Amino acid sequence: MKERGIGILLLLAALGALIALGLITYFIFQAGVPLIARVGLWEFLSGMRWNPTSKPPQFGILPMIVGSLWLTVGALVIGVPLGLAVAVFMVELAPPQLAMVMRPAIQLLAGIPSVIYGFIGLTLLAPLVRAAFGGPGLSVLTGAIILGFMILPTIIAISEDAIRAVPLAIREGALALGSSHWQAISGVILPTARSGIIAGVILGMGRALGETMAVIMMIGNSLDIPTSPLQPATTLTSNIGLELAYASGPHREALFATGVVLFIFIMILNALATTFVRRPVLSRSST
């Protein structure tokens, strides 16, 4: 009876999570899909102008999509190599005492509010970028750098767990065959832990794509399509965060429609990443 009761409680908890996700999905779609139907999906996605107060109003989110892609790719370019390097160092190279100090320090990064990251970037990073490269300072580059550091705790923690989960026999087998330590890391351990590492990258991508406050403070919030990392831009999330407080009528519906696009975009990315993770690949270690 006790085990059956625990099973029922776990089932209810799982159903509760699914119900909450269903309600969120229904709320967003029922508020945003009608405007997409009126404007047209292609016009909404490919439109170059966002001017809800004009006559007639213009609802084009292509500059926001491009800005989101710029920012997400830039954050991954900065965060993934650095995060993976830190994870490998902590597991394979660092003395145990140093790893014990680094782990809570990295976890502390995850607890810092995003507005603090934005404030530090606004007061320190933006003037440095402006002095070194020119431009307004508040740009895709500064936003990507800040987001790259914000996604580090997620990538490091999950990659570290994945690397530690590699069986000891695989490590010892690689060394027994004459591999150096670095050859074992790059040719055997990392390919074996690839699924967990990609999962960490996916979660970091979701954090970068869904971040709002730090992005609003750092990216410049320009509705033009950026053609350079030094130009300001806007993202899907920052536009929603800036305008939802005073939007009404079709304007509010357009913001919910933007949320629908963001929701679908994240689902597609997760599906593609899951397909890639599950695809069988013959690693060099098995060869």
Q: Dihedral (C-alpha) 271, 72, 113, 273: value to the nearest 10 degrees?
A: 20
Element (H, E) at 282: none
**Which ranges of 40-125 would DSSP assign to H, the alpha helix?**
41-46, 62-88, 96-111, 114-120
Q: What is the pLDDT of residue 287?
A: 41
Sequence-distant (≥ 6) Cβ neighbours of residue 220 within 8 angstroms: 136, 138, 139, 231, 232, 233, 234
**pLDDT number for residue 284:** 39
Q: Is the dihedral of CA 44, 45, 51, 52 positive or negative?
A: positive
Q: Where is pLDDT greater, at 276 or 163? A: 163
The closest of 190, 210, 203, 198 to 261, measured between CA atoms, is 210
What is the C-alpha radius of gyration for the chain, rounded to an integer number of angstroms? 22
Q: Range with the lowest mean pLDDT among 22-31, 149-158, 164-173, 276-285?
A: 276-285
Interval 172-231: pLDDT, tens: 888 888 888 888 888 888 988 888 888 888 888 888 888 888 888 888 888 888 888 888
Which pair of structure tokens corresponds to residue 131? 């002095």
Instruction: List the domain boundaries for the chain.
Output: 58-278
Q: Where are the beta strands (DSSP E) in the chain?
A: 50-51, 58-59
Q: Which of 160, 156, 136 is nearest to 148 (CA)?
A: 156
Check: CATH 1.10.3720.10 for 58-278?
Answer: yes
Provide the whole-model pTM.
Answer: 0.84
Residue 157 has pLDDT above 50, yes or no: yes
Give residue-wise pLDDT tens across range 115-155: 899 888 888 898 998 888 887 888 899 999 999 999 999 89
The region that residue 99 occupies, defined by phi over 0 for left and psi between -120 and 50 for alpha, beta otherwise, is alpha
Question: With contact defined as beta carbons under 8 Å apart, do 61 and 258 qualify?
Answer: yes
Instruction: For residue range 220-275, list pLDDT tens digits in order.
Output: 888 888 888 888 999 999 889 888 888 888 899 999 999 999 888 888 777 776 77
